[in-house]
Amino acid sequence: MPESSIVVRPEPAGTPSRRLQAAGLGHATAVFEQLAATVPLPPAPRPIVVADYGAATGYNSLLPIGAAIAAFRRRTRPDHAVLVTHTDLPDNDFTALFRTLADDPDSYTRKDAASFPSAIGRSFYAQILPSQSVNLAWTSWATMWLRRPAAELPEFDDHVHVEHSDDAAARQEYARRAAQDWQDFLAFRGRELAPGGKLLVLTAAVDAQGRSGYRPVLDAIVAVLDELVGEGFVSRDEVTRMTIPVLARSEKELRAPFAPAGRFEALTIERLDVFDAEDRFWDRYLLDGDAGALGAQWSAFTSAAVFPALAAALAGGAAGDPRAAEFVQRLEAGVAARLASSPQQVQIPLALVVLAKRVA
Ligand SMILES: C[S@@+](CC[C@H](N)C(=O)[O-])C[C@H]1O[C@@H](n2cnc3c(N)ncnc32)[C@H](O)[C@@H]1O
């Protein structure tokens, strides 16, 4: 079965979307560094193995992995090899990943001579690393992507995101699949982690009030799609098929595989925080009052993250449909204009989960 084929476009350093992707990363990086300070390490010359699941361009992994390597170095000789393996789907832009690792001033490869980057182009909904090989693992903003692409998920016609749909059957089916995906992701990581190994997951969450966030942005997308149907640029059938195959999870859903004994596949939850990440575009708007910039930044972020998934529902597909490029441009312009006309803070609920594998 094909996996979700969403690839976030690589972008030059400092673009708005990248800065927003970094939301929540400061907190998670500090936690990751603490894990690196205490996780069991193999004796040299066996390498310390660090995995990064769903790396995209690798940009947001540089600081957490760099911090972890610095913490290892307080416990190891400088020449104890650290093998870092960045994973993503096969059609990820691995060239952009390796360029980031080589060129970005924040890259751990520029700071630590005994760090060795590598990459794997396979879905993390399978075992992709040898059993008991990974000492420390990171995954940010990736496990909320469902295994199935939108075309294989149930249709609902009143929104682009199932959490905002009134179709109870579709919501239930998405939740069922998201539960299975989370369980599978955990099961395979449970095999890959070395005894005592730890995995930090940063992912979209549903908060204690049941909110999954992003409401103004998602509603703006729906409104612009309606306009595009009205203009005859896309058909209603195409828009009905447009779905963002992402699901935020509540604390209860994140804990479900561990019930009732608190253990799943030799893993336990060591820590679970649900928190709202700051909306940095909003913070800047409060300082400069520039509603146009607020709309443009949120629209650019959303475009990079999810518009390719929507374009995939055009009759000719994201790659083959002659309207695809204009579709993304018009959506981006329309969403930016709507958000600028009614500036609002966007809620970004995140979950940080630390999983620990039993010490053998
Ligand atoms: C929004 S990006 C996050 C990238 C980066 N970790 C960060 O924090 O910015 C999500 C990434 O997860 C990847 N992804 C989605 N489903 C995946 C899967 N089943 N296996 C591996 N990677 C996946 C996507 O291809 C994409 O590169």
How does DSSP assign 270-295, residue by residue? EEEEEEEEP-HHHHHHHHH--HHHHH
Rounded CA gap, 140 and 273, in Å? 14
The pLDDT value given to residue 70: 98
Cα(351) to ligand 1 centroid in Å equals: 16
- Residue-level pLDDT at 22: 58
Q: Which residues are paired to 352 by β-bridges?
A: 202, 273
CA-to-CA separations, 87 to 55, 90, 214, in angstroms, rounded = 6, 9, 27
CA 307 – CA 61 distance, rounded (Å): 23
Q: 333 CA distance to ligand 1 centroid (A)?
A: 25
How far is the centre of ligand 1, averaged over its atoms, from the C-alpha of 230 (Å)? 34
User: What does the pLDDT read at residue 159?
Assistant: 87
Which two three-digit tokens encode residue 223? 């409104």
Residue 244 sits at φ, ψ, to 5 deg, of -95, 110
- 24 CB within 6 A, ligand 1: no
pLDDT average per 10 residues of sequence, the chain (360 residues): 33 40 81 98 98 95 97 97 97 96 96 98 98 98 89 82 89 94 98 98 95 94 97 95 93 97 96 94 96 96 90 92 96 98 96 95
Query: Is 8 in a helix, a strand, or coil?
Result: coil
Kindly report the protein residue whose alpha carbon is nearest to atom 25 of ligand 1: 7
Q: 257: cis peptide before it, omega within 30°?
A: no
What are residue 353's phi and psi, to 5 degrees?
A: -120, 130
Quickly tell me which residue has 């040299």 as its tokens.
44
Query: Tokens 């935020």 map to which residue?
Result: 248
Q: What kind and span of H or E run contains 53?
A: strand 48-53
What is the DSSP secondary-structure string of 318-351? HHH-TTHHHHHHHHHHHHHHHHHHS-----EEEE
Which atom of ligand 1 lies nearest, measured to the CA of 147? Answer: 19
pLDDT at 158 (0 to 100): 81
Q: Strand, helix or coil at 355?
A: strand
Strand order from edge to edge, sheet including 82-88: 115-121, 82-88, 48-53, 134-140, 193-204, 348-357, 267-277
pTM score, whole prediction? 0.91
Is residue 7 within 8 A of residue 89, CB to CB? The reply is yes
pLDDT at 109: 97
Kindly give the number of the ligand 1 atom that is closest to the alpha carbon of 21: 9
21 CB less than 6 Å from ligand 1? Answer: yes
Ligand 1 close to Cβ of residue 202 (< 6 A): no
CB distance 6 to ligand 1 below 6 Å: yes
Q: Which tokens belong to 247?
A: 């699901």
- Is the CB of residue 88 below 6 angstroms from any atom belonging to ligand 1? yes
**Ligand 1 contact via 58 beta carbon (within 6 Å):** no
